[in-house]
Amino acid sequence: MSETPERVATLLARESAGGRVRVQGWCKTARHGKGVSFLEVSDGSSMAGIQVVAEPGLANYESELLALRTGCAVDATGELVESPAQGQRFEIRAARVEVVGGVGDDYPLQKKRHSFEFLREVGHLRFRTNTLGALARVRHAASRAIRSFFDARGFLELHTPIITASDAEGAGALFRATIFDPATAPKTVEGTTDWTQDFFGRPTFLTVSGQLEAEIGALALSKVYTFGPTFRAENSNTSRHLAEFWMVEPEVAFLDLDGDAALAEAFVRAVLGELLERCGEDLAFFDERVLKGVVETLEHVVATPFERMTYTDAVARLEKSGKAFEFPVAWGADLQSEHERWLTEEHVKRPVIVTNYPRGVKAFYMYLDDDERTVRAMDVLVPRVGEIVGGSQREHRLPVLERRMREVGIDPAALGWYCDLRRHGSVPHAGFGLGLERLLLFATGLGNVRDVIPFPRTPGSAEY
Ligand code: 4AD
Ligand code: MG
């Protein structure tokens, strides 16, 4: 007869000690003293593990338990008692400790700080560390907060396709999805690859954004969002870019740019607020070990309205800043990360929403302003990270949309269905995309996007 195992977090949250309990997990540490062993057992449910105290009276004490060390998997049963030790309320006085899995001599994780670079090399074990365990819990809580924010406001979650025929951003950073072997792919008479013979009978790619399909949803269901992996074959080896990242994209009918910006602000503040509420222990760890002050920054962001300014205004302020930027500031050029960071970190010292960018630096689907120089775009910039949200009011006027598509070299016929939506019951609509990893960089204080996604895909790297 055996007890049902309980999560460590549940045990530690108990009102009082007492009773027989059972836990299963991995030893974060194992200390063997005179006539007693202390195992800190973690199962990933909380930052803190639970201390299991094992004494020589146990049948396998000499033969097995004395050999326990960091990384070993155990299954322990015993009495939950008040802990005499500092910093923990309860511990388990073991009546039985089963060694489920030992570790090899080359087990790479020890009770010391490992560099993030090193941990990426042992990505199959890194969730056993405090930092990646905390990240996994915060990432989970963020996903949950994202879904509950939209659910509470009447949005439907729309599952948009991962394999798509359209380049939503018109940026050409696409991964091709094909069943052809490059060596034997059928050719046209011109000698190019004959995609009509491929699986879908046409060229297909991994999606860079679910937006265009989310627009289909919004123009019937009013408020939708899509949340899933997106893929970009940009060869940018930075601490902010991944080739596969998770994006949440709401899309709303009868909404303009102002409403879109207000939604993005409410959303970012609500999700961060929920992380503060639910992930106190993990965020405190990030504050102590990764970036001092990160919790205070989050509290400030949740409590303070975001700044708003137009792109034109932002450029004027950048020009007046007197800063020597690596990339020159000029109206018409896209804001570089150094510009974004100056605006949010040094200038307004809080998140800022920059709107109405020049048409030349933004995608074809954005609503053209009356002056025809700018589009109704908005980016949310936050300190340290820069852009975490990009969005816009969409061009819903068919003649303008077709003109814009031709200008950037997209044949309107190739996106016939997208244009068609503008012929039947077209309404102003808007949406945005938030990169989950960018949000997590901001929330945790971690410095590299490779450490906020379980299995990072970057140029030259696709392990697991
Ligand atoms: O600004 P982006 O490219 O906008 C879109 O894709 C729109 N279709 C969104 C929409 O309006 N529905 O990307 C949106 C966000 C960025 O602000 C950033 O947070 C994140 O996605 N992002 C990336 N995150 C990690 N790695 C990359 N390579 C990213 N590219 C964009
Ligand atoms: Mg963008």
Model pLDDT, residue 283: 98
Q: Is 376 in the pocket of ligand 1 (CB under 6 A)?
A: no
CB contact at 8 A, 25 and 40: no
SS3 149: helix
Model pLDDT, residue 225: 98
Residue range 442-451: mean pLDDT, rounded = 98
pLDDT tier, 260 (very low <50, low <70, confident <90, very high otherwise)? very high
Is a pLDDT exceeding 70 seen at residue 1? no
Ligand 1 atom, smallest distance to 388 CA: 19
| Nearest ligand for residue 364 CA | 1
158-202 pLDDT per residue, tens = 999 999 998 888 777 999 999 999 999 999 999 999 999 999 999
Ligand 2 is an ion; residues with CB less than 5 A from it = 390
Q: Is 432 in the pocket of ligand 1 (CB under 6 A)?
A: yes
What separation in Å is there between the alpha carbon of 390 and the centre of ligand 1?
A: 6
What separation in Å is there between the alpha carbon of 233 and the centre of ligand 1?
A: 13
What separation in Å is there between the alpha carbon of 435 and the centre of ligand 1?
A: 6
81-120 pLDDT per residue, tens = 999 988 899 999 999 999 999 999 999 998 888 999 999 9
Model pLDDT, residue 171: 76
199-258 pLDDT per residue, tens = 999 999 999 999 999 999 999 999 999 999 999 998 888 999 999 999 999 999 999 999
Model pLDDT, residue 235: 84
What separation in Å is there between the alpha carbon of 136 and the centre of ligand 2?
A: 26
167-176 pLDDT per residue, tens = 888 777 999 9
Testing ligand 1's pocket by substitution, the residue of 235, 355, 438 carrying the most ligand atoms inside 8 A of its CB is 438
Lowest average pLDDT, out of 170-174, 311-315, 334-338, goes to: 170-174
Residue range 289-311: mean pLDDT, rounded = 97
Query: Cα–Cα distances in Å, from 433 out to 57, 117, 227, 392?
Result: 59, 29, 9, 9
Q: Is 453 in the pocket of ligand 1 (CB under 6 A)?
A: no
Lowest average pLDDT, out of 148-152, 412-416, 442-446, goes to: 412-416
Model pLDDT, residue 143: 98
What separation in Å is there between the alpha carbon of 19 and the centre of ligand 2?
A: 55
| Nearest ligand for residue 230 CA | 1
Ligand 1 atom, smallest distance to 250 CA: 12
Model pLDDT, residue 377: 98
Is a pLDDT exceeding 60 seen at residue 345? yes
Testing ligand 1's pocket by substitution, the residue of 175, 223, 237, 247 carrying the most ligand atoms inside 8 A of its CB is 247
